[in-house]
Amino acid sequence: MTWLLPDAVLTPTGLEEGLAVQIVDDRIAQVRPFSVGDEAERLRGKLLLPGFVNAHSHAFQRALRGHVQHGTADGRDSFWTWREAMYGLAETLNPDAVERIATLAFREMLAAGYTTVGEFHYLHHQPNGDPYDDPEELSLRIVSAARVAGIRLVLLYVAYARAGHGLAPNPRQRRFIHPSSDAVLAAVERLRAIGARTGFDVGLAPHSVRACPADWLRDFSTYKGIIHAHVDEQPAEVQASLAEYGRRPVEVYAEAGILSPRFSAVHLTHPDDREIDLFARHGGSVVACPTTELDLGDGFLPIQRLDGRVPVCIGSDSHASIDPFAELRAIEWHARALSGHRNVVQPAACSDPADGLAVRLLQMGSQNGAKALGVDTGTLEPGRFADIIAVDASRLEFAHARLLPAIVFNGSPAAVSDVWVGGRRVKTSVRR
């Protein structure tokens, strides 16, 4: 049993002083006023927040950092030219390299304040496309990396069938592709059984309507766990869907029976109003990855059209940056740039309305992500996993500031002083 006594705790209604958090085993047991006589670890100058949830990660892409920030000879660099560089990296990685890079990415996430990651994992096979002797070799390397780093893992196992409608097979995608939807579902069930024994969760991730045809999506509609997919990331993806089906991607998912409260659309940077209406009716979530979306030229999440209708959470995707504070404030700043107004995101109901916007954005960073990944975390309430971060409020950037808005709009991973995952303090380091 452990008691933590900070200066304040973030509750669903805002910051509250004088509260202590009791941890028993891996769960929060109590959050209540501290009583003299209780033995507690005093965290002076610090605030306790729920750990951030990274709902969308491609860990191996962390190895691209710094290597793709130069243009093509014709000056027309784009998402699609970046994708070729990513494929080139994917072709070179053996299992040891996959595990090393994932461990690095997960450690950086923990240092930044992420305590859970949804790993959208599509590097499955050997470079020539043949399965490993253990067909789940690379999935289990991701599991091992998460265990070594100490982060909570939801393995989102990606289904990939083809290069796209009417396109010839792309040899650079051989490591991603399965022969059938049944093969994907069988792999997911094998991994779920392993995860139940060893402590990680598994979800299903049809990569996109470009990579998964409608018959595969219909087969996946019977899956009872969480489902994530790339949706409307690039205009070309939307145009390809219209050419193949006469429908936009969200409509294709809806007709296949995929949309539900268990479904999360990653990016959704180019939806039309009908797609948003469909999404709102079916109750899914959107995973925004603003730093990657900026880096790749994807576009901007239209939060002002989603707000109040569709829950939004965050991911670091390609790991151009691993910084949950940057992701959260970008959601609001993008909305300001698009609308010409300030304070666009609807504030949360909280004890002090001046903190409402900050509380709402922090909820996107924690409890909305926990819902999207189906994990019992995201708030500091009894019964939840004790996934907690401490923010050092004594830092210079917070001096003479209103704390919660300053944490969101001026905070950075450097402000995260302590991290607990399942009640265990995790060693984090900003050094190599």
Cβ neighbours around 159 below 10 Å, total? 29
Contact 218, 256 (CB under 8 A): yes
Which residues contact residue 363 at a Cβ distance below 8 angstroms, ignoring those fewer than 6 apart?
348
Could you give the C-alpha distances from 358 to 53, 149, 346, 387, 388, in angstroms and in order?
16, 29, 10, 20, 18
Give dist(CA 12, CA 246) in Å, integer: 43
Q: Which among 357, 346, 372 has a CA at the least distance from the CA of 288?
A: 372
User: Hey, what are 341's tokens?
Assistant: 């107004």
Catalytic residue at 219? no
CB burial string 12-30: b at 16+ within 10 A, e below? eebbeeebbbbbeeebbbe
Catalytic residue among 7, 295, 317, 323: 317
Give dist(CA 410, CA 361) in Å, integer: 13
Residue type, 243: A
Cβ neighbours around 333 below 10 Å, total? 16
Rg of the chain (C-alpha set) = 21
Catalytic residue among 267, 270, 319, 334: 267
Strand partners, 263: 227
Q: Which among 378, 398, 352, 403 has a CA at the least distance from the CA of 14?
A: 352
Give dist(CA 407, CA 290) in Å, integer: 18
Could you give the C-alpha distances from 154 to 139, 171, 201, 232, 239, in angstroms and in order?
11, 29, 5, 23, 31
Contact 315, 56 (CB under 8 A): yes
Catalytically active residues are 267, 317
